Structure 1
Amino acid sequence: MDEHGPGSAAECQERIDENSLCILIRLEQRLFAVPADLVEAMMQLPGLTPVPGQGACMRGLMQFREKVIPLVDLRRCANLETSSEQDLALQTLLEERIQDHRNWLGELEASVLEKRAFTGALDPNLCKLGRWLNSLEARELTVRTQLQRIRSAHASLHAVATQVIESVQAGREDEAKTLIEQTRQISLSRIIELFAELRVIFRETRREIAVVLRLAGSKVALGVDAVVAVERLRPGTLQDLELGGTPASPLIRSVARRAREDSLVQILNLDELLRMVGTHHEPVEELEAAC
């Protein structure tokens, strides 16, 4: 590793001012900035070696130019879900929505057998899945396309209820039962397939980026969602939170606005980042042996 390990007491003297060229990085909808001249490299996140006892924000170790460097999970630092937590949450949500529609078909079948009114939602926009689909906004074309496929399949499934009701009213109960069973075997199965594909697409479009920084003689990588731009901040908007502001996190030193638009940019406190890495740092020999 470098002469000064991340556990060094040295501080990073680099601060962003209104003339600094910045690298803007994104987590979810939030923008963060680091000085461009401290960025050593940006790459797709490589394989990591976990190191036990390193703290929640320390994701693990990665190889970089024949060196072993720590990677800080900026999502953890910003109190956001990690990519693995997001995937698990999505899996749970989709399983719940599938069970909702199994129950919905069960209620539709019961209404036929018991000769009573169907109490489920006819409008696909009114069930939990429909409301969730309508709430989503995706940047990526692949995600938008897949969501549209799910919306179409979901609408077709709900349309079966009207067909079943009409068949029962016409005295064709066997036809109604057949429609329900076909919907279970075909339409619901298709939605399950589309959900599985959606999870894969989400994982592929959320491939994290490692931004490697030079901090006080050390190299530290940040795991981020995306690198957005290289630009200067809007003049007159820089507010130092250490001088009277209220930082949401010790990792945020100041805030400003983008020059091209009104988006808020949070400027990372690199000294705090360095201290955090040092707090959870083991001797270099142990770290390199872990890899």
Structure 2
Amino acid sequence: MSGKNVESLFTEGRLSVITFSTRDATFAIPLEQVRYIEKDVERNIKVDQQTQFNHEVITFQNRAVPLYDFCNLTGSKSATAQAEDLLDTLNAREQDHIEWVAELEKAIKTKTPFTKTTDPNKCAFGIWYNKFKTNDKDLEEVMEKFDQPHRRLHEMAAELLPLSEINQDEALAKLKRERTTTFGALRNLFENARERVTATVRPIIVFVEQGKNKISALRLDNIQDIQTYGLNDFSDDESTEGIMKRKSDEFLIEGYLRNGDGPPIILINCQPLKA
């Protein structure tokens, strides 16, 4: 047999771990199994289309070692994928308002009906914005600033369309000013939000020792802390189904660590006992 059973991970009844999280749960890896930690600078090589249990290749001390995306292993959506979705949404909603302003200008110039919504709560951005939540305080601060210029932008139609019936030139002049001020501020906020979303994505590569001179790497969304637990803080995972069960040859969920009233942390053994 090779590898380590869970009791042998504890030294004198204590186990130090590094903790990290996905959007679904918090995990831990024994500190003694960690060889090296670095930022993900995308120096890996994709060997095939990514699937849940497929991997990439990365170099470690002049050796090619497998690189697994931990979120793929657990079936969770990575922070990178979530950020890409959010960037797509921001780009699409900004384009909506570029078209909105263009349609308003067209309606004023041609005296044709304006068919876009004038209610800031009913456009696609407004509906999304009113439901949007984030745990990132900096991004939250940026997003809160959208409310005033976004509402002002939609109010423009109610002001400028009646004015255009009386004085088209004045309506167009006011639209030109609002395009620079109100709409300019809104577009700057879209750019600030994109910059903040991009800055939040900082994947980490953790190289782990799997025994018999074997090294593998895990791509993590984050590393949170180093913590120490006692054997009494551990409880077995007796389930036969669930995340990572098909990958037990490489990584095994041994059970759960819990200290005090905190939520349980899932313990991953990178050197599971093998028959």
TM-score (norm 1): 0.69
Indicate the residue corresponding to 1:59 in structure 2. 56
Distance (whole Å) between structure 2 residues aligned to residue 195 and residue 208 of structure 1: 24
Indicate the residue corresponding to 1:177 in structure 2. 172
Distance (whole Å) between structure 1 residues aligned to residue 265 and residue 145 of structure 2: 35
The 1:211–1:104 alpha-carbon spacing in structure 2 relative to 1, beyond 3 Å, is: same
Distance (whole Å) between structure 1 residues aligned to residue 3 and residue 45 of structure 2: 26
Distance (whole Å) between structure 2 residues aligned to residue 180 and residue 94 of structure 1: 24
Indicate the residue corresponding to 1:127 in structure 2. 123
Pairwise CA RMSD: 3.7
Quote the offset at 1:259 in angstroms: 2.2
How many residues were matched structurally? 259
Q: How does 1:108-257 map to 2 (within 5 A)?
A: 108-109=104-105, 112=108, 114=111, 120-122=117-119, 124-164=120-160, 167=163, 171-184=166-179, 187-216=182-211, 217-232=213-228, 235=232, 238-240=235-237, 243-244=238-239, 246-250=241-245, 251=247, 253-256=253-256
Q: Unmatched 5+ residue regions in structure 1?
A: 1-9, 275-291
% of aligned pairs identical? Answer: 18
Paired residues of 2:210 and 2:216 also in contact (CA < 8 A): yes
Distance (whole Å) between structure 1 residues aligned to residue 130 and residue 234 of structure 2: 35
Q: Secondary structure at the match of 1:222?
A: strand
Distance (whole Å) between structure 2 residues aligned to residue 156 and residue 79 of structure 1: 42
Indicate the residue corresponding to 2:259 in structure 1. 259
Quote the offset at 1:111 in angstroms: 5.8
Distance (whole Å) between structure 2 residues aligned to residue 154 and residue 62 of structure 1: 48
Paired residues of 1:254 and 1:268 also in contact (CA < 8 A): yes
The 1:203–1:117 alpha-carbon spacing in structure 2 relative to 1, beyond 3 Å, is: closer
Paired residues of 2:80 and 2:201 also in contact (CA < 8 A): no
Q: Secondary structure at the match of 1:130?
A: helix
Q: Secondary structure at the match of 1:22?
A: strand
Indicate the residue corresponding to 1:93 in structure 2. 89
Paired residues of 2:209 and 2:271 also in contact (CA < 8 A): no
Paired residues of 2:39 and 2:202 also in contact (CA < 8 A): yes
Distance (whole Å) between structure 2 residues aligned to residue 150 and residue 198 of structure 1: 10
Quote the offset at 1:35 in angstroms: 1.3
Paired residues of 2:73 and 2:243 also in contact (CA < 8 A): no
The 1:196–1:29 alpha-carbon spacing in structure 2 relative to 1, beyond 3 Å, is: farther
Distance (whole Å) between structure 1 residues aligned to residue 214 and residue 207 of structure 2: 10
The 1:186–1:270 alpha-carbon spacing in structure 2 relative to 1, beyond 3 Å, is: same
Quote the offset at 1:87 in angstroms: 4.7
Deviations 1:147-179 (A, max 9, x none): 23444443332342343356458x444333333
Q: Secondary structure at the match of 1:201?
A: helix
Q: Secondary structure at the match of 1:238?
A: strand
Q: Unmatched 5+ residue regions in structure 2?
A: none
Indicate the residue corresponding to 2:32 in structure 1. 37
Quote the offset at 1:97 in angstroms: 0.9
Distance (whole Å) between structure 2 residues aligned to residue 229 and residue 141 of structure 1: 20
The 1:84–1:257 alpha-carbon spacing in structure 2 relative to 1, beyond 3 Å, is: closer
Mapped pair 1:12 → 2:7: no
Distance (whole Å) between structure 2 residues aligned to residue 54 and residue 95 of structure 1: 27
The 1:210–1:98 alpha-carbon spacing in structure 2 relative to 1, beyond 3 Å, is: same
The 1:128–1:185 alpha-carbon spacing in structure 2 relative to 1, beyond 3 Å, is: same
